[in-house]
Amino acid sequence: MSASPTTTDRTAESSALHAVPAHPGTLAERYRAVRAWTNALCEPLVIEDYVVRTMTDVSPTKWHIAHTSWFFETFVLTPHFPGYRPLDARYSYLFNSYYVQAGERHCRAQRGFVTRPTVADVYAYRVHVDEHMLALLTGAVRAANAFGQNGDDADGVHALVELGLNHEQQHQELILTDIKHVFWMNPVRPVYVPRDASDAGRATPVGDGPPRWIDVAEGVYEIGHGGRGFAFDNEGPRHRHYLAPFRIASRLVTNAEYLAFMADGGYRRAELWLSAGWDAVRADGWEAPLYWENEGGEWTAFTLNGTVPVAPDEPVCHVSCFEADAFARWSGARLPTEAEWEVAAAAAGPPAGPFAESRRFHPGPPGDAQAGGGLRQLYGDVWQWTASQYTPYPGFRPASGAIGEYNGKFMCDQWVLRGASCATPRSHARLTYRNFFPAPTRWQFSGIRLAADA
Ligand SMILES: [Fe+2]
């Protein structure tokens, strides 16, 4: 069992994230590793960093580390650990996110008002949950009330644990994107982790020239998750999908290309934008990606490594679906549908790229990522906006009960992003993964890959 980290003696400058194995063997080992990575991501923080909430989409770090424990407590320990007693019965109200069937919950907009329980209290909560979870996972305590699909009591519990681990990995990414916004809102612009010395020469690396187009033939393709291994319910069922012939760009759109769009009046030309996108440009005063600032004619970007010059051949990042769509229109291209992205990426092999474990927390130029199937930067730099609305696949059926609220009830007014980002844990990336956010969203590590009709 991992001890709760202490945080009072840490500074961003002195911390180094501990190594955590990416693919441990047993479920208990995987549980330990995933929980340890959450703690490792918090090591650069000081107590004051944990409580702040700077906008609608952001949750305090303290809430993330408590809520991920609440998930295991609510869906594994309370129903399946014989005689389980919560550390504090009030936490079920404080740290439920959106599961209506799991009971009343604290208002999301007021998560930043909660100074008690303290950070030490929520780390003690993590330890309490870890002790009970590992007793179940190591067989020291036999699970009760299980419902294994194969008649094995352990199956149902293990499936819930696997879901809880993937849930925690989603919050690991949110811990990073949220603390980035918290630090951005602070005028002294704290550094989360300094850029590694080995990365010093990569600020303006040599790019690989214009993107190539990868042609994909017309056909009826199978997409979606249908095999072994974990996937969220929204990734299935696997099904057939017709695609007209199309082409997809070999790499992500770069900052240099996006700067050309800006210089050509991209943010001032209504004809390039969807109506709702143009409304957002006007209402929010967008004139560059989130975290960019112009200082004396030079653009800088705020990163988790501090403020750096905008590197021309790094992927543009922190753009909304509206900006991605407008850039694509300006380019004479379009965004890929999620089916097009998946069919093209299927030829590229297993996910590879600079994931969170690289500790860069910032996308890199094309040379850093895989080139399988002619496609680069599929995973581990930025999530890629698609032209697909987030809707259920044919035959999709959410699970009954509160756990069925995980994905299905959000299938309205959101757009699918594919791939993975520099904040995603390596073992969390998958070909069939369907990330989703509303079109104006910019605080995620989101970027652009172009497509076109053949
Ligand atoms: Fe959650």
pLDDT in tens, the chain (454 residues): 333 333 333 333 333 455 444 456 899 999 999 999 999 999 999 999 999 999 999 999 999 999 999 999 999 999 999 999 999 999 999 999 989 898 999 989 999 999 999 999 999 999 999 999 999 999 889 888 765 544 445 678 899 999 999 999 999 999 999 999 999 999 999 999 998 755 644 444 445 678 899 999 999 999 999 988 999 999 999 999 999 999 999 999 999 999 999 999 999 999 999 999 999 999 999 999 999 999 899 999 999 999 999 999 999 999 999 999 999 999 999 999 999 999 999 988 899 989 999 999 999 998 645 556 789 999 999 999 999 999 999 999 998 888 899 898 999 999 999 999 999 999 999 999 999 999 999 999 999 999 999 9
Residue 145's pLDDT is 73
The total of other beta-carbon atoms located within 10 Å of residue 282's CB is 12
Distance 346 CA to ligand 1 centre (A): 29
Sequence-distant (6+) residues with CB within 8 A of 268 are: none
Cβ-count burial 310-349 (b if 16+ within 10 Å, e if not)? bbebbbbbbbbbbbbbbbbbbbebbbbbbbbbbbbbeebe
Q: Tell me, what's the pLDDT at 150?
A: 45
Contacts of 424 (CB under 8 A, 6+ apart): 169, 173, 355, 356, 379, 380
For 407-444, b where at least 16 C-beta lie within 10 A, e where not — what string?
A: beeeeeebbbbbbbbbbbbbbbbbbbbbbbbebbbbbb
Q: Report angle CA 59, 61, 62 to the nearest 5 degrees.
A: 105
On whether the CB atoms of residues 216 and 242 are closer than 8 A, the answer is no
Largest Cα–Cα distance in the chain?
A: 68
How far apart CA 316 and CA 337 sit, in angstroms, is 19
2 close to 32: Cβ distance less than 8 angstroms: yes
Q: How far is the CA of 75 from the CAs of 121, 161, 230, in angstroms?
A: 21, 9, 17
**Token pair listed for 262:** 């800006």
Q: Please report the pLDDT score of residue 2 as a whole number.
A: 33
What is the distance in A from the centroid of ligand 1 to the CA of 171?
7
Q: How many angstroms is it from 64 CA to the middle of ligand 1?
A: 8
Q: How far is the CA of 3 from the centre of ligand 1 (A)?
A: 23
Q: What pLDDT score was predicted for residue 147?
A: 56
197 half-sphere exposure, CB direction, 13 A CA radius: 1
Q: What phi, psi does 415 have (nearest 5°)?
A: -120, 145
Distance 365 CA to ligand 1 centre (A): 31
Helix (H) or strand (E) holding 270: none
CA of 161 to the centre of ligand 1 (A): 14
* Cβ atoms < 10 Å from Cβ of 185: 12
Res 210: pLDDT: 81
Which residues does residue 294 pair with via DSSP β-bridges, in sequence order? 299
Protein residues with C-beta less than 5 angstroms from the ion ligand 1? 97
User: Which residues 6+ apart lie within 8 Å of 451 measured at CB?
Assistant: 246, 247, 248, 249, 333, 334, 335, 336, 337, 340, 341, 387
Residue 399: which of 98, 168, 160 has the closest Cα? 160
